[in-house]
Amino acid sequence: MPDTELTGDLFLLSPEADVRFTPPEAKPEALIVERIRARQVEAFDDLYRMFAPMVHGIVLSRVPREEADDVVQEVFIAAYKNLNSLRDTNAVGPWLAKIARNFSAGLFRGRRQDVELTDDISEKRRPENEANEILAVILRMPLTYKETLVLRLVEGMTGPEIAEQTGMTPDSVRVNLHRGMKMLRRELGVEVK
């Protein structure tokens, strides 16, 4: 077979052609991205279900709780509109995490989030009061700990899930969770034995 027959198809690509591809070792989320790009509408629902807890946790660690759901929706709308800018389909989790962080920071830059605790914290010790108290303490912590603690304690993600979806190293997640929990216990007055 002449060389021109073997290579002829290679020259059909224009300089503007989309040369993205899914690597052979594609993760499940990479395949979902490719389905979305192929206009399979239901695939975006799959992507949302897979990453919504992570995005919600990141957003919740940066914005007031009552606004978090709206911001999560805006993050996914922005992701959908910009999906063609994603070059590595295996990195969709870290890409969404970055969008969530940047979007939250941009929206709420200049706003100061103050969460006040009443002096009478022990008021009827209902679970929702305790959860609000813990969340308020977490939201006053350094961002490094705040994000991983919200993903773990609020969204229920495991350390390996946090690392995989956000692109952080497992060691970083483990250290942030350990130090964050230690700080949280100290702030809540819980003794560690």
Q: Who has greater pLDDT, 108 or 107?
A: 107
What pLDDT does 15 receive? 42
Specify the DSSP class assigned to residue 192: P
Specify the DSSP class assigned to residue 119: S
User: Can you tell me the distance from the alpha carbon of 138 to that of 132, in angstroms, rounded to the nearest whole number?
Assistant: 10
User: Can you tell me the distance from the alpha carbon of 4 to that of 24, in angstroms, rounded to the nearest whole number?
Assistant: 27
What pLDDT does 10 receive? 38
**Residue 12: pLDDT band with limits 50, 70, 90:** very low
| N residues, the chain | 193
Three-state SS at 182: helix
Chain segment 38-97, per-residue pLDDT in tens: 999 899 999 999 999 999 999 998 888 888 899 999 999 999 999 989 989 989 999 999
